[in-house]
Amino acid sequence: MDLNDSAKKATASATPNSPVFCTIIPPHILDNLAQSDDPARHEPARRTLEHDHVRRTLRREIAARGLTPGEPDAGADKPNRTIYDAEHRAHLPGKKVRSESDGPSQDASVNRAHAGLGATFELYLKIYGRKSIDGAGLPLNATVHYGEKYDNAFWDGERMVFGDGDNDLFRDFTIPVDVIGHELTHGVTQYTANLDYQGQSGALNESVSDVFGTLIKQYALGQTAEQADWLIGADLLGPNVTGTALRSMKAPGTAYDDDVLGKDPQPAAMKDYVHTTDDNGGVHINSGIPNHAFYLFATAVGGKAWERAGQVWYDVLTGGNLAKDAQFADFAALTIAAAHARFGAGEHEAAVKAWTQVGITPK
């Protein structure tokens, strides 16, 4: 069995209650790359799949210890960031290269990781009153320069980890701030709703990370919903890729169409829902449906998406009523109720319309 088959088997065999290692590059993209006839392209993909398989096992061991928020201390309203350098090896955390009190590094990857952690911390604190990932001031650690031409980034339950990419299809993974926000939001989800990483609940898990990843980007840029590009990882694709990003929330299925990566498989509505055993039931694929619903809701409401649309999603994620195995219809019902409770009839109507447009009838 080759690495591609091994990765598929490991992903497909995960149960709903298994804590799963989450990466920004979906397995179906790496699977396509691993089958390339060009060694310069398939070798980085196969190494990445192999590393991800190992880290997935370690991730389960970390998650088994539990994720219980601590008690906020006096400094919990300020980020506490530490950046490490793996020095192109597959070991963590690596060499400590920057702490919170240090000035900028000469390494651009270190500085971008530091800034991205800060941007994520800032949105959650200033907009939603959340003190770091756990709500209690959890220190934010990150490792850069992981592995050799490692084509991924991930949150492993303890830290963010960034590959440098292969400089062909993928660039340095510290570049897009929405990628950093996406992965750290998996941590927020673990400390709150802890959505099962399987099927529709897993797609919701991925979608929530995309939602807050794009909100972190929009907040950092000061963009309104109308000004935003609604792309995830727009700065990540290399010069030899035919595409604009990893995913599009505005138009799922249009982010890329490349001879090597394949075509973006995300559906925008339930009529095109993809039934598959790969990728824990297509969690990276079918997340396009709730992603599009959020885009429709945010643009209908207008203004700055983090203020009203994002607040509704945050209320549902942290409200205690979202079941671990929630389906799209369950999430839709909760967001509709939250929109009315928080803002009133106008936002309620916009939420109903958004979910209806993607073919979901709330329970």
CATH number at residue 270: 1.10.390.10
The answer to whether residues 187 and 234 belong to one domain is no
The pLDDT assigned to 60 comes to 43
129-320-139-89 Cα dihedral, nearest 10 degrees: -130
β-strand pairing of 22-23 with 153-155 = antiparallel
Note whether 163 and 205 are same-domain residues: no
Backbone angles phi, psi at 313, to 5 degrees: -65, -40
User: Residue 139 is encoded by which pair of tokens?
Assistant: 């220190």
Looking at residue 32, its pLDDT comes to 78
CB neighbours of 102 closer than 8 A, spacing ≥ 6? none
Q: So what's the pLDDT on residue 27?
A: 77
CA dist., res. 128 & res. 192, Å (int): 14
Q: Which of 265, 237, 268, 263 is nearest to 250 (CA)?
A: 268
Four-CA torsion 262, 268, 272, 277, nearest 10 degrees: 60
If asked whether residues 183 and 209 sit together in one domain, one would say no
Residues 220 and 334 in one domain: yes
**What CATH number is given to the structural domain containing 165?**
3.10.170.10
147 and 229 assigned to the same domain: no
Q: Which helix (H) or strand (E) holds 298?
A: helix 288-301
Residue 247 structural domain: 199-357
Counting the structural domains of the chain, the total is 3
User: Residues with Cβ < 8 Å from 305, sequence gap 6 or more?
Assistant: 214, 215, 218, 224, 225, 228, 298
85-100 pLDDT tens trace: 999 999 999 999 999 9
Which residues are CB-contacts of 196 (< 8 A; sequence separation ≥ 6)?
Answer: 16, 17, 202, 205, 324, 325
pTM tops 0.75, yes or no:
yes
Element (H, E) at 257: strand 257-258
Residue 252 lies in a domain: yes
User: What is the pLDDT, as a whole number, of residue 11?
Assistant: 38
Please tell me the distance from the alpha carbon of residue 360 to that of residue 357, in angstroms, as a whole number. Answer: 8
Sheet holding 140-144, edge to edge: 22-23, 153-155, 160-162, 140-144, 81-85, 95-98
Question: 275 and 157 in one domain?
Answer: no
> Are 225 and 313 contained in the same domain?
yes
Give the per-residue pLDDT at 26: 79
Same domain, 47 and 97: no
- End of a domain among 15, 31, 63? 63
Asked whether residue 363 is assigned to any structural domain, the reply reads: no
Q: Is residue 71 part of a domain?
A: no
What tens-digit pLDDT sequence spans the chain (363 residues)? 333 343 333 333 333 333 456 788 877 787 777 777 777 777 777 777 676 655 554 444 444 344 566 677 767 899 999 999 999 999 999 999 999 999 999 999 999 999 999 999 999 999 999 999 999 999 999 999 999 999 999 988 889 999 999 999 999 999 999 999 999 999 999 999 999 999 999 999 999 999 999 999 999 999 999 999 999 999 999 988 999 999 999 999 999 999 988 999 999 999 999 999 988 999 999 999 999 999 999 999 999 999 999 999 999 999 999 999 999 999 999 999 999 999 999 999 999 999 999 999 987
Which residues touch 65 (CB under 8 Å, ≥6 apart)?
A: none
**CA-CA-CA-CA torsion sign (147, 149, 150, 152):** positive
Phi, psi dihedral angles at 256 (to 5 degrees): -155, 155
Q: What is the pLDDT of residue 59?
A: 45
Catalytic residue numbers, as ranges: 183, 284
Q: Are residues 217 and 302 in the same domain?
A: yes
Check whether residue 221 and residue 247 sit in a common domain: yes
> Do 138 and 82 contact (CB within 8 A), yes or no?
no
